[in-house]
Structure 1
Amino acid sequence: MNEYGNAHAGYPAGELYIGDYHLSLRRAADALTDLSLIRILSALHGLVDLKRPLLPYNVRPGDPKAITPEKVAVHAARLGVHDADVIFLGGQDYIRLLRPCVPHLFTPLSGGMHHQRGQCRQAREQSELRRQWWQAAADLHAAHHPA
Structure 2
Amino acid sequence: MVTRVVVIPCGGAKLGHAATAGEMYTGSYHRACRRAADRIGGHLLILSARYGLLTPSTRIEPYELRMGQPGAVDVATLRTQARALDVDQADAVVVLAGRRYADAATAVWPHARRPLDGAGGIGHQLARLAALTRTGLPYDEDQRSTIQ
The question of a shared fold, defined as TM-score above 0.5 by the shorter chain, is answered with: yes
Amino acid of the structure 1 residue aligned with 2:87? G
Measure, in 2, the Cα distance between the counterparts of 1:107 and 1:40. 15
Structure 1 residues 77 and 133 mapped into 2: Cα distance closer, same or farther (>3 Å)? Answer: farther
Aligned counterpart, 1:47: 53
Aligned to 2:34: 26
Q: 2:90 aligns with which of 83, 89, 112?
A: 83
Shift of 1:133: 5.1
State the aligned residue count: 125
CA distance in 1, matches of 2:22, 2:40: 16
Residues 131 and 118 of structure 1: is their aligned pair in 2 closer, same or farther, counting only changes over 3 Å?
closer
The corresponding residue for 1:98 is: 105
* Matched AA of 1:47: L
Amino acid at match of 2:120: G
In structure 2, how many angstroms separate the alpha carbons of the residues matched to 1:134 and 1:46? 28
Q: 2 CA distance for matches of 1:38 and 1:61?
A: 19
1:119 has 2:128 as partner: yes
Inter-partner Cα distance in structure 2 for 1:112 and 1:92: 11
Task: Go from structure 1 to structure 2 and tell me whether the alpha carbon gap of 1:115 and 1:134 turns closer, same or farther (over 3 Å shift).
Answer: farther
Q: Determine the C-alpha separation between the residues in 2 that align with 1:131 and 1:68.
A: 27
Structure 2 spans left out of the alignment, 5+ residues: 1-16
Q: CA separation in 2, counterparts of 1:104 and 1:81?
A: 11
Asked if residue 11 in structure 1 is aligned to residue 19 in structure 2, the reply is: yes
**One-letter amino acid of the counterpart of residue 107, structure 1:** R
Q: TM-score, normalised by structure 2?
A: 0.77
Structure 1 gap segments, 5+ residues each: 1-8, 140-147
Distance 1:70 1:60, change over 3 A: same
Q: 1:89–1:107: 8 Å Cα contact kept in structure 2?
A: yes
Equivalent of residue 56 in structure 1, options 50, 62, 69: 62
Identity %: 30
Structure with greater contact order relative to length (CA < 8 Å, sep ≥ 6): 2
Instruction: Tell me if the contact between 2:132 and 2:138 (Cα under 8 Å) persists in the aligned partners.
Output: no
User: How far does residue 134 in structure 1 lie from its aligned partner after superposition?
Assistant: 4.8
RMSD, matched Cα: 1.8
Q: Give the structure-1-normalised TM-score.
A: 0.77
